[in-house]
Chain A
Amino acid sequence: MRPAGWLGLVVLALAVAPLALPPFFLQLLTEIAIVGLFATAFNLLMGFGGMVSFGHAAYFALGAYAPALLVKRAGVPLLLALPAAPVVAGAGALLFGFFIVRLSHTYFAMLSLAFAQIVFTVIFKWKALTGGDDGLLDVWPPPLLKSPAAYYYFTLAVVGVSVLALRAIVDSPFGYALRSVRENPRRARFIGIDVRRHQLVAFVISGAFSGLAGGLFAFYNGSVFPDFAYFTKSFEPLVVALLGGVQSFFGPLAGAFGFKILEWLVSRQWPVYWPLFLGTIVIVVIVLLPYGFVGLVGGRPWRTRPTTRG
């Protein structure tokens, strides 16, 4: 199968990358993997559940702060602290998602954004716990994982397993039912699916994996800051998934790669003009490449064009 061949090639290239690339590029690849996981988790909702969240930074930030606090305040080692990321982010997604899935479309998006701003405000104001605007510094992985190559491999492994898990979820009975909810909630109810509860479960899964991405990023970055929860961060997975292709499972990963490489190329020369450039790219992709970057290589990643409602 064609996608399997592509996948093998990509995995091989990623595995040997540390032999050929200087540390800077390993860090760039590490960041791409983290953003790719964040966008893939986000796209479980958008691409497969038909739910557009404008507030996924909340779960990314909860996932970044939870292990960072454990390391800083309780001296827990990274490998024990990192699992707190998906747990705390998933709990947050359960709490907020309970209300958010009661709404649809624009209202869903706005309420998710509102909850994310609450998370931002709490992190920003609760100086005693979170350090407020100063963030939490010196959140580094243990010596064994501190080199760019070691943390690169570690991130790759965690992201790889997570992406495979998300893939399995998409292909599972749960994933089929989620797609049916996206396509036609009313019909889904009449095959016995509790639509809101299904959406909530998807929301929690998406939030937990977004949190794991946040946790990985905390140790990559060596510090965490309130703007991890700010709304501009919420648009990152949205833009990345759109660029890569929301119709395809691997679209967001491709989008993360394209996004970060372009950002690096452009910002290096003209840092001020990156947003202008990004805006142009987004417009070009939306107009010319409705399937995103993956539409360039994979033919039609989805089985059919999105059909209009009739």
Chain B
Amino acid sequence: MADSTDHQGLILQTLGLRKHFGGIQAVNGVDLAVPPGDLRAIIGPNGAGKTTLFNLLSGDLTHDTGQVYFGGEEVSGLPPHRLCRRGLGRTFQITSIFRRLTALENVQTAFLSHHRRHYNLLVPARRLYRDEALALLERVGLREQAGKPSGILAHGDQRRLELAIALAGAPRLLLLDEPTAGMAPRERHEIMALVARIAGDTGLTVVFTEHDMDVVFAVARRITVLHQGVVLAEGTPAEVRANGDVQRVYLGQPAAP
């Protein structure tokens, strides 16, 4: 395990991260150490604190105590748009896209912002980063849907679009909050295989939460198990599967559909 002095080599590290809502300690002292290039699953029963942890890591929430280091620098308290500029991308458990814009415009806007053109008032945006956006849509399998308003796309395609939006920012670290929520089993494997391929190609670090254990054990390089706001176990898929605590509190239960 990492200690407080070696966060230089890690892309993401948290130390003693805590967050409570009223009387509920949602995240209760989480130490997380993610090296570059990792494909890390964070699993745990409902209410284990996964989404809260994600919201703390991405600046959507501010933690009560503890520190977050991103790329070796402390980023505690930075707002989301600043973190995004430093190379953090994320998707949400509930699909979050620009519904009245076309799929192409969704990704184009992300490219425009990434290249810091978003205060440009003078040039027409229609052709800017169009090819890049189309190539990215192709990559996630949405090339044919590019001209459609994103709000009418099928649910799975909206999830893919959100992934493309996040990737347009060329993140170093991608946080995916249940990227396959609401998808059919086959599509789940497809999209996570795609994420793994992209991560492998670009050296991108991915941290994701997921309820489908088949997907988790097929894709993740390492797994962190959260339980009641603390890290219960961490290790390779094989280590986690063999861990007695994990079996008792989580894997022993029937897996969520």
Residues of chain A lying within 8 A (CB to CB) of residue B100: 179, 183, 302-304, 306-307
Q: Contacting chain A: which of B21-29, B32-40, B89-97?
A: B89-97
Residues in B neighbouring A179, C-beta threshold 8 A: 98, 100-101, 105, 109
| Contact A303 B149, beta carbon cutoff 8 Å | yes
Q: Does A173 contact B (CB under 8 A)?
A: yes
Chain A residues within an 8 Å CB radius of B168: 191
The yes or no answer to B114 lying at the interface (CB within 8 A) is yes
Whether A195 and B102, one on each chain, are in contact in the complex, defined by CB atoms closer than 8 angstroms, is no
Q: Are B101 and A187 neighbours in the complex by a CB distance under 8 Å?
A: no
A304 and B81 within 8 A (CB): no
- Which A residues between 161 and 199 are near B, CB-CB below 8 angstroms? 168-169, 171-177, 179-180, 183-184, 186-195, 198
Contact call B112/A176, Cβ cutoff below 8 A: yes
CB-based nearest B residue for A189:
B80
Query: Per a CB cutoff under 8 Å, which of A183, A194, A195 touches B99?
Result: A183
B98: contacting residue among A187, A189, A195, A201, CB under 8 A = A187
The A-B contact count (CB < 8 A) is 116
The count of residues in chain B whose C-beta lies closer than 8 Å to any C-beta of chain A is 44
**Given contacts A190-B90, A191-B109, A194-B81, is CB(A303)–CB(B102) below 8 Å?**
yes
Evaluate contact between A177 and B109: CB separation under 8 angstroms.
yes
By a CB distance below 8 angstroms, the chain A residues around B92 are 186-187
Q: Is the CB of A307 within 8 A of B151?
A: yes
Complex CA gap A100/B168 in Å reads 31
For the complex, is B84 an interface residue (Cβ under 8 Å from A)? yes
Chain B CB within 10 Å, residue with most, of A168, A189, A302, A309: A189
| Distance in angstroms between the alpha carbons of A106 and B56 in the assembled complex | 29
Query: Whole-angstrom distance between the alpha carbons of A80 and B257 in the complex?
Result: 71
Q: In whole angstroms, what is the CA distance A193 to B165 when docked?
A: 13
B119 touches A189 (CB 8 A): no
Contact check, A191 vs B101: say whether CB atoms are below 8 A apart: no
C-beta contact mask, B143-166 vs A, less than 8 Å → 1, else 0?
000000101100000000000011
- Contacting B165 at CB < 8 Å: which of A171, A187, A195, A205? A187
A191 near B121: Cβ-Cβ < 8 Å: no
Contact call A189/B79, Cβ cutoff below 8 A = yes
Report whether A176 and B125 are in contact in the complex, using a CB–CB cutoff of 8 Å.
yes
CA distance A187 to B84 in the complex (A): 11
Chain B residues within an 8 Å CB radius of A177: 109, 112-113, 118
Known interface pairs A189-B79, A191-B168, A192-B81; A172-B101 also in contact (CB < 8 Å): no
What 4 pairs across the A-B complex have the smallest Cβ distances?
A307-B151, A304-B149, A183-B98, A177-B118
Residue numbers of B with Cβ under 8 A of A are 58, 60, 79-81, 84-85, 89-90, 92, 95-102, 105-106, 108-110, 112-114, 117-126, 128, 149, 151-152, 165-166, 168-169
Identify 7 new A-B residue pairs, CB closer than 8 A, beyond the known A174-B118, A184-B98, A307-B152. A172-B120, A172-B121, A176-B109, A176-B118, A190-B80, A193-B81, A307-B149
